[in-house]
Amino acid sequence: MNTFFPWRPPLEENWAARVAELEAIAAGGEMPDYAATRSVTNQQLGPRQQLRIERLGKRLGKIKGNGFTRIELGLLGNRTLSYLCDPLGAAGLARGLLVSAHEAPYDGVAGFAFSAKNCFERGLDAVLAVLDESTLQGERPLLDRAAEDEAVQEAERIASAIAEAARSKTGCPAIIATLPPCIQLTSADIATPGSIARFRLRVNMMLGDGAAEGRWLMWDQAALASRIGIERWFDPIAYHSAKVPFNVELCPLAADNIASLLAAMTGKSARALVLDLDNTLWGGVIGDDGLAGIRIGQNSAEGEAFVAFQNFVLGLRKRGVVLAVCSKNTDAVAREPFRRHPDMLLKEEHIAVFQANWDDKATNIRAIAEKLGLGLESLAYVDDNPAERERVRRELPLVSTIEVGEDPSFFIDRVAGSGLFDHLPLNCDDLARANSYGGRAAVAEIRARVGNYEEYLKSLDMRMTISPFDEVGRPRIVQLINKSNQFNL
C-alpha cells in the first residue's frame, strides 16, 4: 500500500506508540491533539496501519471536540459502496476532516432521484453519486449519432435529478463521479458513435460542463483510474460477485482522492506553495556553483526536469496558488537566477514572499505564513533535502510537507498526486488570488516600515462599498463563507 501514497513520508519508527497515545485519549472520551492526529495518519501506511487508522476515525467521529471539520457524506450508487465508508474516515483524518459516510440502500439511485423519499433520513454535507454505466445508458446502436445524443441527454437528466434531490432532500450539493475508462476493443472506438468508450467520454464531458456551470460538483474517478491503470482499477471478479465498482484494495487511494475534494469544499486545500531553491528549482548550489554552474534548461535531462517543474509551479500560480521561497542562502545570491538565468521560467514577480537567509526553515516558514496572513495549515512545502523535510514536519506538523524525493523527474507527480491543491471549479477571483496574496505580503512590509498601526491604515486610503447580494457576487460570497475558518475575531 506504500506505493499508493509516495508523496507521504515513510512510516515513523515510533508510529505505533504515537497512535496508542491517541487511542487512549479517544477511549477516555476526549478529542486528541489535532496536529498529532493528522501527522500519524498522513504517512505511508501499510494494511495493518490502515485498519488501525480506520478504527481511530470511527471512534473520533463519536467524540465532540474542535479542530477537525465534520463531514456527513451520503454514498449513492447502483453498486456496493460500503467498502468506502471506513477508508473515507481514515483519509479524512489526514486532511483535517472527520468524515462519516452513510451508504444509501443498494441500487437506490432512482428512488433518491425521482421519489419524494429521502433514503438517507438525515441532513448531509454532500451526496457522492458513483454511477455504473448501466444506470445511464440508453439504446445506442453503433454509428447512430442521434441515439448516442439521446443517451447522453438521458444521463444528464439523471445527473440533474440527483443534484436537485440532494439540494431539496438533504440541503447539500451532489458530487457526481465521472465514468472510468473501459477496456477498448479497437483504437477506433473513440471515433465510433455508440461505442462504450465514446459514450463514457461524452458523459464525462457533460459532467464537467455541469460542474463548471455550478449544477453539481464532480469527483474525477476517470482521472484516478487512468493514473492507476484500468486493469488494476477494475476487478471483474469482485464486480460480478460483490457488485463493487472498483478494486477493493484501492479503496484507501480512492478515499484519499475523494477526501481531497471534500477538503477543497471546506476550505482546507493548500493556498500557498513554499519552495526551496537549490536542487529543488535548479540543480546544484547557487552559492557554490555560481550562475553558470547550476543545472537548468535544455542542456541535460535533469535540467529539463527542473524547467518542467517550474512550468508546473507556474500553472499552480495561474490557478490562484500563492508562491513563496524559503532558502538558506544570501538573499542577493538566491535572487540571481530569477533575475539573470535565461532558462528560469519563475521570476521574482511570481514570488509573493522571498525568504532567503540563514535562519532555520521552520522559522522562515512561520514568517512566510505571517506575511501572507495565512495559517500554517494553508501551506505546502517542497524541499529536496530529506533532513529539512523531516525537521519542518517535526516543528510545523500543520504544514503539508510533500515527500518529493531527490529526483526532479518525480516532483510534478508527487505534488499533483498529493491532492493538496484540489479545488472547486475556478472563477475570476481564484485566478487573481495569487496576486492578491502578493499584495498582502507587500502591505505587510509597508506596515512594518510605517510602524504605527493607525498611520499604516491611513496610508492604505481604503474605501468601502456596500451593496445587496446579486447573482454576480454570489460565487464570491459562497467562497468567503467557506473560508470562515480563517477569520480572526
Cell digits of residue 174: 451532489
CA angle 366, 89, 230 (to 5 degrees): 100
Instruction: Specify whether 343 is located in the same domain as 474.
Output: yes
Q: Which helix (H) or strand (E) holds 305?
A: helix 301-318
Give pTM, 2 decimals. Answer: 0.87
Range of the domain at 288: 270-489
Question: CA 478, 482, 484: angle at the middle one, nearest 5?
Answer: 120
> Does residue 177 share a domain with residue 319?
no
Gap between the Cα atoms of 236 and 247, Å rounded: 9
Give the CATH number for residue 397: 3.40.50.1000
Look at residue 434 in the predicted model and tell me its pLDDT: 66
- Asked, for residue 224, whether it belongs to a domain, the answer is yes
Q: For residue 299, give the C-alpha cell.
A: 542542456
Distance set, CA 293 to CA 42, 51, 328, 446 (Å)? 37, 49, 18, 36
The answer to whether 354 and 348 have CB atoms below 8 angstroms apart is yes
- 293: DSSP letter: T
- Residue 429 domain-assigned (yes or no): yes
Give the count of domains, the chain: 2
pLDDT at 427: 75
Considering the domain architecture, whether residues 285 and 227 belong to the same structural domain is answered as: no
Alpha-carbon distances, residue 28 vs 23, 51, 79, 86, 129 (angstroms)? 9, 21, 38, 22, 36
Residue 418 lies in a domain: yes
Choose the final residue of a domain: 210, 235, 265.
265
In a domain? residue 53: no
Q: Does 276 lie in the same domain as 259? A: no
Residues 216 and 290 in one domain: no
**Structure confidence at residue 1 (pLDDT):** 43
Q: Cell numbers at residue 229, please?
A: 491503470
Instruction: Please check whether residue 16 lies inside any domain of the structure.
Output: no
Of 207, 233, 265, which residue constitutes the final position of a domain?
265
Q: Mean pLDDT in runs of 10 for the chain (489 residues)?
A: 82 96 96 96 96 96 90 94 96 97 90 90 94 79 92 95 95 96 91 94 97 96 95 92 92 97 95 98 96 89 96 97 97 97 96 96 97 96 97 96 96 97 81 66 56 63 77 57 54
> What pLDDT does 431 receive?
67
Are 301 and 344 within one domain?
yes
Q: Considering 247, 265, 283, which residue would you say is the last residue of a domain?
A: 265
Q: What is the CATH number of the domain that holds 247?
A: 3.40.50.1110
Residue by residue, DSSP assigns 361-422 as HHHHHHHHHHHHT--GGGEEEE-S-HHHHHHHHHH-TTSEE----S-GGGHHHHHHHT-TT-
Q: Are residues 176 and 215 in the same domain?
A: yes
Cβ atoms within 10 Å, residue 132? 16
Residues 113 and 239 in one domain: yes
Structural domain includes residue 38:
no
Q: Which cell numbers hold the place of 355?
A: 525568504
Please check whether residue 23 lies inside any domain of the structure.
no
Instruction: Give residue 476's pLDDT.
Output: 55
Report yes or no: 256 and 5 within 8 Å, Cβ to Cβ.
yes
Q: In the prediction, which pLDDT does 446 show? A: 53
The three cell numbers locating residue 325: 521561497
